[in-house]
């Protein structure tokens, strides 16, 4: 049996409309062309599939059985075609973000993605940088948002935005600094609260200060920036707060005060990365543009 997808599409159009003329119009072919394909389908099936009556076309029992299977086959083909489209252009987009970006950027960008009909097939993964890069290279993710330039030559990326660091602590601790902008290198390392190892934000904060983890007496191994901010709000130390997190974290941790560093302000560079072997075909730049647009209210 050699039934074609074209024959199944023509047959379903006929079964849905119950009329050869209307069926031909819905699939934009001539009626003779439609009739020829239906006859060929009946020959392949070895049975009559439709009956012509004064009221229109009626499916035979064999025709009704074929219609059920045809719906499933063409539905599966539509799913397959969608899966093979480029990410963000009808295919599923697998996007990863680091934990110090995702909670702040995602609420801003998701409405934009939904408006572009991307959110419907969007899968999000939040993990540390090393894990995201491993999954990106393995093909389990299409793109990742990180705060470190790629070391692997198989990756390409674009800069989304610069995210300045702020100094955050309780009002009393900030007042002890004279409420003045303090150079990172002038900070007492014993007062610094850091994320645990593996979070790039903690390492970047130390790099800005010219310190190592051994210098920080209050390295509590915190797993989230929100935890650090709550500890800092209670006066347990100072921490580096990315600008994009300021609004959410100061609202969630009463008493948390954040001030800017003096120029040149330290900042991290947020990037969108993809595999170099993945065809960009517009989706990558479109995604980068939406992420940049979503970040603007957080950086203002």
Q: What confidence tier does 3 reach under pLDDT thresholds 50, 70, 90?
A: confident
What is the phi/psi pair of residue 269, to 5°?
-105, 115
pLDDT at 103 over 50: yes
- What is the average per-residue pLDDT within 127-146? 90
Query: For residue 32, what are its two tokens?
Result: 């003779």
The DSSP result for 159-215, as a single string, is EEEEEEEEEEEEHHHHHHTTT----GGGS-GGGBEEEPTT-HHHHHHHHHHT--GGG
> What residue segments make up the domains of the chain, in order of their start?
5-84, 93-300
Percent of the chain predicted with pLDDT > 90? 36
Nearest to 241 by CA among 175, 298, 180, 179: 298
CATH number 1.10.10.10 given to 5-84: yes
pLDDT computed for residue 163 by the predictor = 95
Q: β-pairing, 193-195 with 218-222?
A: parallel
Average pLDDT along the chain? 84
Contact indicator for 67, 11 with CB cutoff of 8 Å: yes
Q: What predicted TM-score, i.e. pTM, was given to this entire model?
A: 0.69
Show Cβ contacts of residue 85 under 8 Å, excluding neighbours closer than 6 positions. 91
Query: Could you give the count of Cα atoms lying within 13 Å of 195 in the half-sphere of its Cβ?
Result: 21
Q: Looking at per-residue confidence, does 258 or 91 come out higher?
A: 258
pLDDT at 176 over 50: yes
pLDDT computed for residue 221 by the predictor = 55
Contact indicator for 226, 168 with CB cutoff of 8 Å: no
- What is the average per-residue pLDDT within 22-38? 90
Percent of the chain predicted with pLDDT > 70? 87
The vertex-108 CA angle with 283 and 208, nearest 5°, equals 90
pLDDT computed for residue 271 by the predictor = 96
Nearest to 4 by CA among 83, 84, 74, 76: 74
Taking only the tens place, the pLDDT of each residue in 189-210 is: 778 888 776 567 777 777 777 6
pLDDT at 217 over 60: no
pLDDT computed for residue 252 by the predictor = 92
pLDDT computed for residue 70 by the predictor = 87
pLDDT computed for residue 197 by the predictor = 61
Q: What confidence tier does 149 reach under pLDDT thresholds 50, 70, 90?
A: confident
SS3 content of the chain, % helix, strand, coil (to 5): 50, 25, 30
CATH assignment of 93-300, given 3.40.50.2000, 3.90.1010.10, 3.30.1550.10, 3.40.190.290? Answer: 3.40.190.290
pLDDT computed for residue 185 by the predictor = 80
Taking only the tens place, the pLDDT of each residue in 247-277 is: 999 999 989 999 998 888 889 999 999 998 8
- What is the average per-residue pLDDT within 130-134? 90
- What is the average per-residue pLDDT within 62-84? 78
pLDDT at 60 over 60: yes
Same fold, 5-84 and 93-300: no
């Amino acid at each position: 049996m050699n039934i074609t997808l074209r024959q199944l599409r023509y047959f379903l159009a006929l079964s849905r409309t119950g009329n050869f003329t209307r069926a031909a119009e819905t699939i934009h072919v001539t009626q003779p062309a439609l009739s020829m394909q239906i006859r060929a389908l009946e020959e392949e099936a070895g049975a009559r599939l439709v009956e012509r009556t004064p009221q229109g076309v009626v499916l035979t029992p064999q025709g009704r059985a074929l219609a059920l299977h045809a719906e499933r086959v063409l539905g599966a083909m539509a799913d397959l075609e969608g899966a093979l489209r480029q990410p963000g252009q009808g295919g599923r987009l697998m996007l990863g973000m680091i934990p110090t970006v995702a909670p702040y950027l995602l609420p801003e960008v998701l409405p934009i993605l939904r408006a572009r009909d991307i959110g419907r097939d969007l899968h999000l993964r939040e993990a540390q940088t090393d894990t995201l890069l491993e999954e990106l290279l393995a093909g389990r993710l299409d793109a990742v948002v990180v705060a470190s330039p790629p070391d692997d030559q198989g990756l390409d990326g674009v800069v989304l935005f610069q995210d300045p660091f702020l100094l955050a602590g309780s009002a009393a601790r900030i007042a002890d600094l004279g409420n003045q902008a303090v150079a990172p290198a002038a900070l007492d390392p014993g007062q610094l609260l850091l994320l645990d190892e593996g979070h790039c934000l903690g390492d970047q904060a130390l790099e800005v200060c010219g310190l190592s983890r051994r210098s920080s007496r209050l390295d509590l191994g915190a797993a989230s920036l929100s935890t650090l901010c709550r500890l800092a709000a209670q006066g347990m130390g100072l921490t580096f707060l990315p600008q994009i997190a300021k609004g959410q974290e100061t609202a969630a941790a009463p008493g948390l005060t954040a001030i800017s560093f003096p120029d040149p302000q330290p900042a991290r560079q947020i990037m969108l990365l993809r595999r170099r072997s993945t065809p960009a075909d517009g989706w990558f730049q479109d995604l980068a543009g939406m992420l940049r647009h979503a970040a603007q209210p957080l950086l203002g």
